[in-house]
Amino acid sequence: MHRVVVTGLGPVSGIGIGVNEFTDGLRSGRSAAAPITSFDASGFPHHFAGEVPAFRPEALLRRLRVDEWGRSALFAAAAARLAAMDAGLSLPATDPARVGAVVGTTSGESTVVEQLTAELVAGGYPAMSAEALRQAPAERLSYAVSAELGLAGESVTLTTACSASNYAIGYAYDLLCWGEADVMLAGGADSVCRWAHAGFYRLGALTERACRPFDRDRSGILTGEGGAALVLETLEHAQDRGARIYAEVLGYGVNCDAHHMVAPNEESVAACMRLAQANAGVKPEDIDYISTHGTGTPANDLCEARAIRAVFGDRVPPVSSIKSMLGHTMGAASGFGAIATTLGIRHGFLPPTINWANPDPELSWIDPVPNTARPATVRVAQNNGFAFGGNNAITIFGAIR
Amino acid sequence: MTALVSGWGVLSAAGESVTELLAAVRAGTVVGVDVGDRFDEPLPTAQAPAIADFDVRRLLGRKGTSFLDRATALAMVACGRALADGGLTPDDDNRHRVGVVLGTTTGSLKSTMDFSRETLVQDKPYLVNPVLFPNTVMNCASGQAAIRYGLRGVNATVAGGPLAFLYALRYALNALRRGYVDALLVGGVEEYTPNTAWAAELTGAGPAGEAAAVYLLRRPTPGLTGAPRAQVLAVATGFQPEQGVDGLTGCVRRALATAKVRPPDVWAVASGDLDADSLSEVLPAAAQRLSVRPALGDCQSATGALALGVLLGRYAEDPAARGRPALIVGRSRDGAVAAAVVRG
């Protein structure tokens, strides 16, 4: 069994592109929330989202032809390129077959599918463009990463919705532990799209302008987008090449509610925390910080807080939700959570929950690190991800010892 | 480590058994089912290799089934049959140790595009039906199957189009090897809809097919009763867009080496499309080539799962084949490759 470490980070987000901007965004509590520009949102009562208007794929990518890939694939590949540069990986690798990619997503190439829908509405099925049809399959997200970086190892896209990045990190961790790869790019990507905006609105889960997790008056999510990538490698491989090590991946857990497609399940979420902690070989009292799923809906935050209480008892560590800053970036969300967690461990701070104004008396045990980042020693941290379909996935990171 | 294939649930245009599936693949001509009156929308052809007479209410009951899309319903039925065939009854003692891993391409393209279309054609763009929103996420089928059968273990959806089943198989082997679960339903599902029919037609991949094939995989543990139908010995994958068919040859060599199988011992190879020369550099000329696509059309993420069904059909009918290793292989147009080694 190999130990697995994080050596590179690649955030492409609404609060910063690249690790320096993103770290600065977390520390200063920046918000990505802004009026939607990627589609005409004028007919929607709520028209804010956490987009990445500064994303210029052609400025970040070296090998991919931008017009051959959908927006989510470009997010994934750009994030991976940034992570590889941050890690100082020399590419192509000496043995490209020992380097792979795992990418998580909720809606895959949603904007490509929306283009197909528009073509269908305008001219019927035969009007759908063959090029868009070729770009639509979700596996193209990990293939974009592999093609951009010249990786010949396993390349797989996990479509387990909003916890998919944690699935990806967990699977990559296993492959590295087991010696099946030396380096893995792991993370997630999704794009803001009209149908998800409509769906969340009609579920009553969409807030108007500001996402305020764990606040008494929280009223829902903001849809968001972006790409999150981490370079994971075996400790020996990192040491042999003299890499800077941010943190260690200690383990992860996944389980399924088997209860309801949309509503979270407290008992199952708590069980997933216990699975992840057991897999990582840590106890609740070892954990200094939780990066929560923290969507900002009344139901999620209550369920998550109760599950935390059930697992941590009277010793609940500080928690925060970076969705307050980024919006809900769907399949990328727990990837951004992993990056934020890793940065907190490396630099000694807790990212804040912004837009927080009033404590919720029903969540009295929750310290959401309100509004301002906080200096702290973080030895072990837990990164929560939950999803439609009851797909829970939690990763655990620790300071390198 | 290996996994035991201890049950199957297979639905295709050829029928609801691996025997019928094998017969159709042997015949090698497309199975035509009348689809002309199935949808209001026009279709590229009046016949297609789609599943005939699938009645979700008859198979799953009325409760909770009225909003299911076809892909999800097919997956749920196939999962139930694989559990029953493998003799596994989920209960409170085992349900957290049993899970689901399904391959996909884009989830249900019809569900997503229908939902998306409402945002364009309704008076207000938000006048979508929220009950249908979960159908737009690609893990809908695995989530619904988990709910139906009460399976709380590892639950994942793996995208890979023609390679999705092989990726799912590899993901499942990892979860079993790591001891996260004791049993997994592993499969691939694709529905036939105007969306997939036209997509296949317009991209030259047609005709679109339809299938759901799910297998119950178990950890080989002492005390398991009943003979398994086959073993999965190894799965290898890679991404080699520049290597053409050589990429797949290398992948097959790696899978065989991991499985400790000598290439000359391979008795059969099944895939979407193969000809007599396929993989001739590494495999004996005498190894049977079994191609799914000529009979069943483009079944995307179900292709590899049907290929396993074809091999199970061969093992079942031919006692002389028992114990001999076979391969399932695939290559995507983007240059990804995968190979699985099984033994009946």
Contacts of B202 in chain A (CB under 8 A): 126, 128-130, 133
Q: State how many domains chain B has.
A: 2
Q: How far apart are CA B232 and CA A139, in angstroms?
A: 23
Using omega within 30 degrees of 0 as the cis cutoff, is the peptide bond preceding A352 cis?
A: no
For chain B, positions 94-113, list CB contacts with chain A under 8 A. Answer: 95-96, 99-100, 104-107, 109, 112-113
Residues B115 and B238 grouped into a single domain: no
Which pLDDT band holds residue B239 (cuts at 50, 70, 90)? very high
Strands (E), A91-132: 99-104
B 253-312: CB under 8 A from A: none
Work out the average pLDDT over B131-135: 96
B322 and B187 within one domain? no
Element (H, E) at A106: none
Least CB-CB distance to B237: which of A45, A154, A158? A154
Domains of chain A are 4-240 (3.40.47.10), 251-398 (3.40.47.10)
**Catalytic residue among A47, A197, A237, A293, which?**
A293
User: Which domain-ending residue is among B218, B252, B285?
Assistant: B218
Residue A1 sits at the chain B interface (C-beta within 8 Å) = no
Q: Are B203 and B84 in the same domain?
A: yes
| B197/B266 same-domain check | no
Inter-chain CB proximity A140 and B158 less than 8 Å? no
ipTM confidence score: 0.98
Question: Is B69 part of a structural domain of the chain?
Answer: yes
- Other C-beta atoms closer than 10 Å to the C-beta of A321 total 34
**Full pLDDT tens readout for chain A, 401 residues:** 999 999 999 999 999 999 999 999 999 999 999 999 999 999 999 999 999 999 999 999 999 999 999 999 999 999 999 999 999 999 988 899 999 999 999 999 999 999 999 999 999 999 999 999 999 999 999 999 999 999 999 999 999 999 999 999 999 999 999 999 999 999 999 999 999 999 999 999 999 999 999 999 999 999 999 999 999 999 999 999 999 999 999 999 999 999 999 999 999 999 999 999 999 999 999 999 999 999 999 999 999 999 999 999 999 999 999 999 999 999 999 999 999 999 999 999 999 999 999 999 999 999 999 999 999 999 999 999 999 999 999 999 999 98
Query: B322 burial class (0-12, 13-18, 19+ CB within 10 angstroms)?
Result: exposed
**Nearest alpha-carbon partner for A188 in A219, A205, A166:** A166
Tell me whether residue B41 is in a domain: yes
Same domain, B289 and B193: no
| Domain CATH code at residue B10 | 3.40.47.10
Residue B224 lies in a domain: no
From B174, which residue of chain A is nearest by alpha-carbon distance?
A174
Nearest CA in chain A to B150: A258
For chain B, the residue count is: 344
* Residues B300, B160: Cα–Cα separation, whole Å: 8
In a shared domain, residues B211 and B234: no
Q: Which residue of B lies nearest to A69 if distances are taken between CA atoms?
A: B334
Residue B149 — very low, low, confident or very high, per pLDDT cuts 50/70/90?
Answer: very high
**Res B226: pLDDT:** 73
Kindly state whether residues B205 and B236 are assigned to the same domain.
no
Query: Domain for residue B141, yes or no?
Result: yes
On the question of pLDDT at B245 being above 90, the answer is no
Give domain status of residue B10, yes or no. yes
Q: How confident is the model at residue B313 (pLDDT cuts 50, 70, 90)?
A: very high
Residues B214 and B250 occupy one common structural domain: no
Take residue A308 and report the two structure tokens written for it: 């935390």
Q: Which parts of chain B fold into alpha helices (H)?
A: 18-27, 56-60, 70-85, 109-121, 140-149, 164-177, 194-203, 245-259, 293-296, 303-317
Residues 6 or more apart whose CB falls under 8 angstroms from that of B63 comprise none
Check A153 against B239: CB less than 8 A apart.
yes
| pLDDT tier, B64 (very low <50, low <70, confident <90, very high otherwise) | confident
B332 φ/ψ angles, rounded to the nearest 5 degrees: -95, 165
User: What residues contact A60, with CB distance under 8 A and at least 6 apart?
Assistant: A12, A17, A78, A81, A82
Position B57 confidence tier, pLDDT thresholds 50, 70, 90: very high
Confidence of residue B275 (pLDDT cuts 50, 70, 90): confident
* Residue A399 CB burial class (10 angstroms; 0-12, 13-18, ≥19): middle
Q: For residues B27-53, give the mean pLDDT.
A: 96
Decide if B159 is inside a domain: yes
pLDDT band at residue B221 using 50, 70 and 90 as cut-offs = confident
Beta-bridge partners for B157: B102
One domain, residues B116 and B244? no
First to last CA, chain B: 16
Residue B139 has pLDDT above 90, yes or no: yes
Last residue of a domain, one of B196, B218, B240: B218
Contact criterion met (CB below 8 Å) for B185 and B101: yes
Is residue B225 one of the residues assigned to a domain?
A: no
On average, the pLDDT of chain B sits at: 96
What residues contact residue A190 under an 8 Å CB cut-off, 6+ apart?
Answer: A72, A75, A105, A106, A107, A108, A110, A225, A226, A329, A330, A331, A332
How far is Cα B164 from Cα A157, in angstroms, rounded to an integer? 9
Residues of A in contact with B105 (CB under 8 A): 137-139
pLDDT at B227 over 90: no
Q: Residues of A with CB below 8 A from B304's CB?
A: none
Residue window 359-388, chain A: list those with CB within 8 Å of chain B. Answer: 387-388
Tally of CA atoms within 13 A in the half-sphere of A237 that contains its CB: 27
Question: At residue B83, does pLDDT exceed 90?
Answer: yes
Determine contact: A158 vs chain B, CB below 8 A: yes
Q: How much is the pLDDT for B88? A: 96
Q: Are both B31 and B142 inside the same structural domain? A: yes
Determine the structural domain holding residue B249 and report its residue range: 230-343
**Residues A257/A68, Cβ–Cβ less than 8 Å:** no
On whether both B188 and B301 belong to a single domain, the answer is: no
> Which of A124, A134, A160 is the closest to B157 by Cβ?
A160
pLDDT recorded at residue B222: 79
Q: Do B144 and B234 fall within a single domain?
A: no
Model confidence, pTM:
0.98
Tokens linked to B10? 């297979």
Choosing from A2, A46, A162, A303, which is the catalytic residue?
A162
In whole angstroms, what is the distance from residue A16 CA to residue B162 CA?
A: 36
Q: Give the separation between CA B324 and CA B313, rounded to whole angstroms.
A: 14
Residue B206 lies in a domain: yes
* Amino acid at residue number B234: A
Q: How confident is the model at residue B107 (pLDDT cuts 50, 70, 90)?
A: very high
- Round to whole Å and give the CA distance between B302 and B22: 15
DSSP SS3 for B224: coil
Confidence grade of residue B224 (pLDDT, cut at 50, 70, 90)? confident
Would you call A293 a catalytic residue per the annotation? Answer: yes
Contacts of A161 (CB under 8 A, 6+ apart): A106, A330, A331, A387, A388, A389, A391, B137, B138, B139
For chain B, helix, strand, coil in percent to 5 are 40, 25, 40
CB atoms closer than 10 angstroms to residue A181: 25
Query: Given B218, B243, B277, which residue is the final one in a domain?
Result: B218
Contact A255, A275 (CB under 8 A): yes
Residue A259 among the catalytic residues? no
Q: Is A162 a catalytic residue?
A: yes
